Amino acid sequence: MTTQLERALQSEILYRLNRYPVVAAAIPNGLWIPSRDEQERTLVARIVARMKSDGMLTPGAPDLVLLGAKGALCVELKRPASNDLFGRKPKGRLSPEQKAFKQRCAEAGVGYLVAYDWADVECSLGGLF
């Protein structure tokens, strides 16, 4: 998730999920650490490399993981199609890493959802509890 719209959607979904008997875990799969000089950039590179080697930054991991009494659901949030002053923006698409993660979920029998709004998530909650 990179755009402000997707961040707002994630906040809304996490807030609304409090009414349901599920556990929602937001997956931090990206970070930004400012650096001003070469020494700091070297340190940031070491931190990110360590996080990747420890499995903390997994390419393609979903934005949310929902856990319920009857199962789990991985939710990838994408920007909906929109119009603004600069023209039409198409809806967000899965990256190759996200497609591979979706395939791994299917092979493991775990649900995977690409959501563009709260209604997409709400319709999929029934199988979790």
9/123 Cα distance (integer angstroms) = 16
Q: Nearest 5°: CA angle at 114, between 111 and 115?
A: 115
Identify the three-state secondary structure at position 19.
helix
101/15 Cα distance (integer angstroms) = 26
Question: Is the separation of the CB atoms in 16 and 64 below 8 Å?
Answer: no
| Predicted pLDDT of residue 30 | 64
Please tell me the number of Cα atoms within 13 Å of 45 on its side-chain side.
6
What is the block-wise mean pLDDT of the chain (129 residues), using blocks of 10 residues?
72 90 80 83 88 80 90 90 80 90 93 93 88
- Out of 3.40.50.2000, 3.40.1350.10, 3.40.50.150, 3.40.50.300, which CATH number does the structure's domain 4-27+62-128 have? 3.40.1350.10
| Predicted pLDDT of residue 33 | 78
| Predicted pLDDT of residue 1 | 41
Q: What is the pTM of this model?
A: 0.77
